[in-house]
Amino acid sequence: MNTAYEKMINDLAPKQFSWKGNIWVAFLVLVILAGMYSYVQQLKSGLVITGMRDYALWGIYISNFVFFVAVSLVGSLITAILRLSGVHWSTPLTRISEIIAVAAIIMAGITIIIDMGRPDRMLNLFLHGRLQSPILWDVIVITTYLVISLLLLYYPLLPDFSILKKHPNHTGRLDKWYDRLSLNWSGNEKQVRIHAISLQALSIMIIPVAFAIHTVTAWLFETTYRPGWDSTNFGPYFIAGAFVAGSGAVVVVMFVLRKLYNLEDYITDDHFDKMGKVLVLLCLVYLYFNINEYLIPTYKSTEEEAVHLQSLFKGQYAGLFWTVIIGGLILPVIILLFPKGRKPLPLFMVALAVVLGAWWKRYLIVIPTLSHPFLPIEGVPEAWRHYSPTWMEWTITAATLASALLIITLLVRFLPIIPIHETAEERGLIEDQSINQSL
């Protein structure tokens, strides 16, 4: 048979963890257990274990939630937008980005539950849900996005599962599962047609849902009167930021996986170069929205906005603000404009800075605004004026991030990280085979 094709299957079939992988999983599980311990304390004593109080009424749970929603958007960018625009170089990255999207959106849903004062009453959202509330819109779009993302992950896997099933030497005890999950995929003409149409339909469907999910998340803030949130720029600003965060995450994951699984033949330097170009474009768009978001209110400097902006530019949050803007946005743009900056290692470092910056950027969007209400902060303990997360809050937040990484890790363990069938097709390795099978 086709030896190149065999080699490819050999390269791309899921592999058991090495000792490194096992330690990594053990580490993640440990972090998650610590978070679960803290969450049990939170259930027992209430949100009093957090640093939040009546003025800083939302904290890192919410900013972390916004971060997860942001990262999840990359699935739609790479699998849907690039697919629909006929870009083929991104095919080997579709699985990775879809895995990241699924992990992030699952954790977004869980994180918002963690923030609730009465998670035991979650069903009220369905029993007494008010469609006038942006929270309901969020519930609807997040679940819709999760379903479409799962399907977008699963459909391209059908032929891959069927390939894995036929090569049991790679899979061991798992081939039974691959058999079941392949849903009798044989690659005949009818299946191929339905498959193509479904993927096309899902790719089209996910784009408005992806835009909706992050726009609605922006509206959670924008629908209030508070300075810093009261902006008509928020929807597109959040979407632009989300694409930056998600693309950064894809670069980080693809770099690590390429190293660990020796995927240099599939994730090439050219992929990094192209992702670097995508990232620099997205960063520039985001920079543009940031200028809109900060420059114009600064120009007008209405009393309330001025207090808020001062705290960002020169006050309490200035260190963090400028680190995030310069380190997470401006420097990446400058570095990535140079071809050398888009080599795998430098790009990886830049992407890491972008992802970290993206996390803290959400912190800067959520928290400072709350310390500048319209009426003065009076009659509460002095500590309530400033929010600083407690270690329990950090543990729980770290656990959500670890959970997302664990989901990614487990999916990487059991799924082919690079779509085997699609990549083979694009390289012209299996044309004959599918014709043979349809006969």
Partner 1 sequence: MEPEKDNQQKSRRNFVEQGLKFGLLTAASGALLAKVFGKSESLDSEETIEVMSTDGTLMQVPASAVEHAHEKKSDYNPREGFPNRKFVMVVDLAKCRNAKKCQSSCNKNHYITGENAWIKIYKMQESEKSAPYWQPTLCQHCDEPACVKVCPVDATFKRRDGIVLIDNNRCIGCRFCMAACPYSVRVFNWSDTWQGDAVEQTAYTPDYAGVPSQKGTVDKCDFCPHMIDKGELPHCVSACPNDVFSFGDMYEDTVTNGSGQSFKLSKLLKDRAGYRLMESLGTEPSVYYLPPSDRIVDFEEGLENYTEFQSVDKPQEP
Q: Which residues of the chain form contacts with partner 1 (CB under 8 A)?
A: 45-48, 52-55, 57-58, 115-119, 121-122, 124-125, 127-130, 132-136, 139, 220-221, 223-226, 370, 373-382, 384
Closest CA to 86 of 430, 375, 426, 314: 426
b/e string for 220-229 if b means 16 or more Cβ within 10 A? bbbeeeebbb
Q: To the nearest whole angstrom, how small is the minimum distance from the Cβ of residue 4 to partner 1?
A: 55
User: CB of residue 383 vs partner 1: minimum separation in angstroms?
Assistant: 9
Q: Which is nearer to partner 1, 94 or 371 (CB)?
A: 371
79, with CB counted inside 10 A (0-12, 13-18, 19+), is buried
Q: What are phi and psi of 13, to 5 degrees?
A: -65, 145
CB of 359 to partner 1, least distance (A): 21
Which residue in 327, 372, 334, 375 sits closest to 353, CA to CA? Answer: 327
19 vs 374 by CB, closer to partner 1: 374
Backbone angles phi, psi at 85, to 5 degrees: -85, 10
Structure tokens at 25: 């999983």
Report residue 77 CA to chain centroid gap.
Answer: 11
| 116/435 with CB nearer partner 1 | 116
Residue number, 11 or 230, with CB nearest to partner 1: 230
User: Quick one: tokens of 326?
Assistant: 């310069």
Q: Work out how close the CB of 183 gets to partner 1 at its nearest, in angstroms, rounded to a whole number.
A: 37
**Collapsed DSSP state (helix, strand, coil) of residue 91:** helix
d(CA 347, CA 279): 10
The closest alpha carbon to 396, from 116, 121, 114, 117, belongs to 114
Residue-level length of the chain: 439
User: Between residues 228 and 328, which has the closer beta carbon with respect to partner 1?
Assistant: 228
Residue with smaller CB distance to partner 1, 132 or 184: 132
Q: Which is nearer to partner 1, 5 or 384 (CB)?
A: 384
CB of 310 to partner 1, least distance (A): 17
Closest distance of CB 66 from partner 1, Å: 13
CB of 397 to partner 1, least distance (A): 17
Q: Is 279 in contact with 251 (CB distance < 8 Å)?
A: yes
Tally the C-alpha atoms within 13 A of residue 216's C-alpha that lie toward its C-beta: 22
Cβ 220 to partner 1 shortest distance, Å: 7
Residue (1 or 127) nearer to partner 1, CB: 127
